[in-house]
Copies of this chain bind each other. A is one copy, B any other.
Amino acid sequence: MSRKGGDHEQQPVRRMESPRSSHGQAIARILKTFRPEDFDLEEGFLLQTFTQMKGCGCKVPRPILLNLLKTFGATPSVANGGVGIGLDSCVVPLRHPGLKLVQTTDFFYPLVDDPYIMGRITAANVLSDLYAMGVSECDNMLMLLGVCKDFSDKQRDIVVREFIKGFKDTAAQAGTEVRGGQTVKCPWLLLGGVATSVVTDEEMLRVDRAVPGDVLILTKPLGGQVSVNSYEWLKTNDVRMREHHLDPKKVLRAAQQAMEQMCRLNKNAAIFARKYDAHACTDITGFGILGHADNLARAQKEKVRFVIDSLPIIEYMEEVARAMNGGNGFNLFGGTSAETSGGLLVVLPEDTAEEFRAELEKKESFPTFNIGRVIAAIEGEENGACMNHRIEVVPVPSSIHSSAIPINE
């Protein structure tokens, strides 16, 4: 692996004050840091301990899942008027001419300490599957909730209230509403949702049109799994903090940076992906950048390979990952470290890619990343994605600690 300078290195971006934005409120809450006592919960109450798995990292591993899904007699495919299992949303032609139903569901377990922020992340994460199809308007959301059976009545009431608030605030930010759901008791606190949209063909992207020469744009940096895990070690005074000589301040800062981007909607990215007629698009969640890039590459009509040349990573998470498991904690550098509510991976021709990046960065005041390219598959080679063996790691500093808050929406 090498590291070099270049167009990936990011300067902190200056943002305008706009105190009423919904995302700005989320950032303010993140930076304040969550204190259970402020919510009438006992000191030391830690949401993440009500599960043994975190966020999208709880997914059944991809090879096992693909095998299990064989029962459906379907392989993952892009659903342009057809059937798609395993790639973001499913798309169903309706009985009503010209209209398609696009919908998705996701559920997982808590990965940060603040139930309100967890509600925002959960909603942003489920909506992201619509955005990955270029669908920017959601018609309805359902909320899925497994209330931890080990909660006291008081813990249950406070956690559920804050979670619902966060979920609802992000739904409102997305311009939709939560109009139903299901609540059961569960050993772990289980959080999720369903997002549905009814669209015309013009309101969604065809995401199977990548061609050699296209570039891969990622709209949020990686390292989410490293960040939420090291943050939990910090909160629980875990031995790994000392074992790996981790800097508590840097761990906290990275966790806040991760929380911000997990709360951030991929809606603008979807709007611009459609505006610039992206050739392909997906969002990065449990299978990591490589897993999702691979899924997307396999769904392309042309014989193509996606090559990932660089990994933009939340600042300090490279150091944490290098300190662990023989220098590759969570397989961060192998590309399969899980993200929750990660960015969109948008495939565009090289020239429009730069326009797309410029417009999205201007709108959101957060950096985007050119992480790779589309090449032609060699004769007989299957479609897929791979990592450049000389992959470049690009640390991405926090934007929310260094400049005015909050951002535009």
A186, B186: Cβ atoms under 8 Å? yes
Q: Is residue A262 contacting chain B, with contact meaning CB distance below 8 A?
A: no
CA distance A160 to B106 in the complex (A): 18
Question: Which chain B residue shows the least CB distance to A99?
Answer: B96
B179, A71: Cβ atoms under 8 Å? no
Cβ < 8 Å to B, chain A residues 106-149:
106-109, 137, 139-140, 142, 144, 146-147, 149
Q: Is residue A246 contacting chain B, with contact meaning CB distance below 8 A?
A: no
A72, B140: Cβ atoms under 8 Å? no
Could you mark each residue 187-211 of chain A with 1 if its beta carbon is under 8 Å from any beta carbon of chain B, else 0? 1101010101010000000000000
B183, A59: Cβ atoms under 8 Å? yes
B180, A84: Cβ atoms under 8 Å? yes
Q: Is residue A41 contacting chain B, with contact meaning CB distance below 8 A?
A: no
Q: Is residue A94 contacting chain B, with contact meaning CB distance below 8 A?
A: yes
Question: How far apart are A133's CB and chain B's nearest CB, in angstroms?
Answer: 12
B183, A186: Cβ atoms under 8 Å? no
Q: Is residue A161 contacting chain B, with contact meaning CB distance below 8 A?
A: yes
Q: Is residue A157 contacting chain B, with contact meaning CB distance below 8 A?
A: yes
Chain B residues positioned under 8 Å from A198 (CB to CB): 94-96, 99, 101, 198
Contact A184:B58 (CB < 8 A) given known A142-B103, A146-B190, A194-B103: yes
- Stretch of A3-11, A85-93, A212-220 that contacts chain B: A85-93
Q: Which of B107, B168, B187 lies in contact with A72, CB distance below 8 A?
A: B168
Question: How far apart are A180's CB and chain B's nearest CB, in angstroms?
Answer: 4
Q: Is residue A29 contacting chain B, with contact meaning CB distance below 8 A?
A: no
B85, A179: Cβ atoms under 8 Å? yes
Cβ < 8 Å to B, chain A residues 50-108:
52-53, 58-60, 64-65, 67-69, 71-72, 79, 83-85, 89-90, 92, 94-96, 99, 101, 103-108
Chain B residues positioned under 8 Å from A194 (CB to CB): 103, 105, 142, 194
CA distance A165 to B107 in the complex (A): 22
A164, B103: Cβ atoms under 8 Å? no
B140, A180: Cβ atoms under 8 Å? no
21 CB contacts below 8 A, A to B, read A60-B184, A64-B156, A68-B157, A68-B183, A72-B164, A72-B178, A84-B179, A84-B180, A90-B142, A92-B177, A101-B139, A103-B140, A103-B180, A104-B180, A105-B182, A106-B182, A107-B144, A108-B184, A182-B192, A187-B187, A187-B188
